[in-house]
Amino acid sequence: MTNKSKRMQDIYKKVSVTKVYKADEAVNFLKECPQVKFDQSIDVSIRLGIDPRKSDQNVRATVSLPHGTGKKLVIVAITRGDKVKEALDAGADHAGSDELVAKIAAGWTDFDAVVATPDMMREVGKLGKVLGPRGLMPTPKAGTVTLDLAKAIHELKSGKIEFKADRHGVVNAAIGKLSFAADKLLQNLNAFIQAVAKSKPPSAKGQYMRSLVLSSTMGPGLTVELRDIDNG
């Protein structure tokens, strides 16, 4: 078993692995943990009462976090013609058509989000093996396949994120940075929870949200009380 660092030993002297925390308690606890040399992400994991093997119980949607994620996104726009300039003017870091598709197909993945115009989806589809595993394949449902590239890019830079349940029925997302004020993290958390609640499949039976864990990149995972926030 790997020995815990002195920092983690100190943290686990204070944390209770059996306690169910209120959301504000969990946020404040994570903020009070000994600091590290970088601004940690605050991550949320929600275990859902769904059967992810059934196509009618897939959970996938987007949410605009009120205070963003705190991460500077590198955005790629796959498009052609006048739309290239539109994307760059809107803040895309890279924009282009066939040459950009070829670069990604060759293994380039130094970006965080991809938007595309509908006319390029035949080419984008060829990148499934590269973009799919990283959750970067643009889709109309997520608003990342669109003719309004400026709007899509603005929304991404303003804190719009996509989430989906994994094969275990768990939804994971980063909802901000540890440096955020506690009230901003709580507002982001609430927005995320409400978006997951609204995405409940009609065929899902019983309790929808089973458990919620809040953590920081280098901190403990804290179980958060769901009684007041679970809509299922």
Tell me: pLDDT of 214 over 50: yes
Q: Which CATH superfamily groups domain 16-68+161-223? A: Ribosomal protein L1/L10, rRNA-binding domain (3.30.190.20)
User: Where in the chain are all domains bearing CATH 3.40.50.790?
Assistant: 75-158
**pLDDT-derived band at 27, boundaries 50, 70, 90:** very high
Q: How far apart are CA 212 and CA 53, in angstroms?
A: 21
For the chain, where do the domains classified as CATH 3.30.190.20 start and end?
Answer: 16-68+161-223
Please state whether beta strands 75-78 and 113-116 pair in parallel, antiparallel, or not at all (unpaired): parallel
| Tens-place pLDDT, residues 165-198 | 999 999 999 999 999 999 999 999 999 999 999 9
Question: CA–CA separation, 12 vs 177, rounded Å?
Answer: 21
Place domain 75-158 in its CATH homologous superfamily: Ribosomal protein L1/L10, domain II (3.40.50.790)
pLDDT at 231: 43
Cβ-in-10-Å burial (0-12, 13-18, 19+) of 122 comes to: exposed
210 against 16, higher pLDDT: 210
